[in-house]
Amino acid sequence: MQPGTATAPISKRRLRAGEILSGIAVLFLLFDSVIKVMVIAPLTSILGAILLTGYLGGAVATHVRIGSPLFIHILFPIYIAALLWGGLFLRDDRVRTLLTPRT
């Protein structure tokens, strides 16, 4: 800023709104760090896998609709979903009991 240039004062309402937004960001980061320190068991891994599968399914549908190449674009999200569920299958007994055929 050049010397002698006047700046408009910031209103108290605008200043307060900025402090609130910064405070929310700090609270999210603090919450994230506390969870990592407490080492909480990952109870939402199945829900996360379902949501990511839906997201990847949308990517497949989009690439099919616009006519993208099969092996480069269409099958890649399917490979990622297979890796996701494969890892979850190996880690979680609940998924193994759901996906293993009963005899």
Helix ranges, the chain (H): 12-38, 45-66, 76-91, 93-99
pTM above 0.85, yes or no: no
What does the pLDDT read at residue 30? Answer: 94
The number of distinct structural domains making up the chain is 2
Tell me which residue has tokens 């990511």.
Answer: 52
**In this structure, is residue 72 part of a structural domain?**
yes
Whether the per-residue pLDDT at 4 is higher than 70: the answer is no
**In this structure, is residue 23 part of a structural domain?**
yes
Range of the domain at 22: 11-40
Confirm if 81 and 52 have CB atoms less than 8 A apart.
yes
What does the pLDDT read at residue 13? Answer: 93
What does the pLDDT read at residue 29? Answer: 93
Tell me the pLDDT tens digit for each residue of 32-86. 888 888 877 777 888 999 999 999 999 999 999 999 898 888 999 999 999 999 9
Other residues' Cβ atoms within 10 Å of the Cβ of residue 78: 14
Confirm if 59 and 77 have CB atoms less than 8 A apart.
yes
**In this structure, is residue 103 part of a structural domain?**
no
How many angstroms separate the CA atoms of 59 and 81, rounded?
Answer: 11
